[in-house]
Amino acid sequence: MDTRWLDDEEKAAWVRLVAVLELLPGVLDTQLRRDAGLTHFEYYVLAMLSESPDRTLRMTALALQTNATLPRLSHVVRRLEERGLVERVPCPGDARATNARLTQKGWDAVREAAPGHVANVRQHIMDALTPEQVAQLTAIGDAVLDRLDPRGTMAATYHRYDPPREQQ
């Protein structure tokens, strides 16, 4: 099989993407740890619960929305439980399943953390882009996600803020 090597333009784009992927998690974690005492993933779990009906999700659904393995998610939810931010409760419709529910303290924590997190995202990402580039970033994300997530496992998470499609 012949390798289709990247040309110079593709390499330039690729190494920039790798640099963003390497630097962004630290930028997000640093701000959230400093201002809210949360890792970015902990904040993400709280945010997903905060946007769910009754601030509750089945653990398997939460794992899908956060792209976490059940063991990793269980470990993080345990830490959040110890801090009183989340509680695990039996799933009313399925005794074999467990739900994660955001507590009032968790709701307060995510609401307090959100403004600083949004300011950080705006400062480091959105304010660096023109409106046209934001639209391009969405289109680029969609093109890449079509390959990375062909079954749309996380589609509900990354399409939740899309504008409604017009009826045809």
**Residue 132, domain member (yes or no):** no
| Domain-located, residue 69 | yes
**Please, what sign has the CA dihedral across residues 71, 75, 78, 80?**
negative
What pLDDT is recorded for position 166?
67
Residue 52 maps to a domain: yes
pLDDT tens, residue order, the chain (168 aa): 899 999 999 999 999 999 999 999 999 999 999 999 999 999 999 999 999 999 999 999 999 999 999 999 999 999 999 999 999 999 988 888 999 999 999 999 999 999 999 999 999 999 999 999 999 999 999 999 999 999 998 888 888 889 887 654
Query: Which pTM value belongs to this model?
Result: 0.90
Domains held by the chain: number: 1
Asked whether residue 35 is domain-assigned, the answer is yes
For residue 109, tell me if it sits in a domain: yes
Within a domain: 39: yes
Q: For residue 77, what is the domain's CATH number?
A: 1.10.10.10
- Is 40 inside a domain boundary? yes
Q: Which domain holds residue 57?
A: 22-113
Handedness of CA 50, 53, 56, 60 (dihedral sign): negative
Q: Is the residue at 141 inside a domain?
A: no
Tokens for 128?
Answer: 């660096």
pLDDT the model gives residue 168? 44
| CA distances from residue 2 to 5, 8, 9, 90, 119 in whole angstroms, order as listed | 9, 18, 20, 53, 46
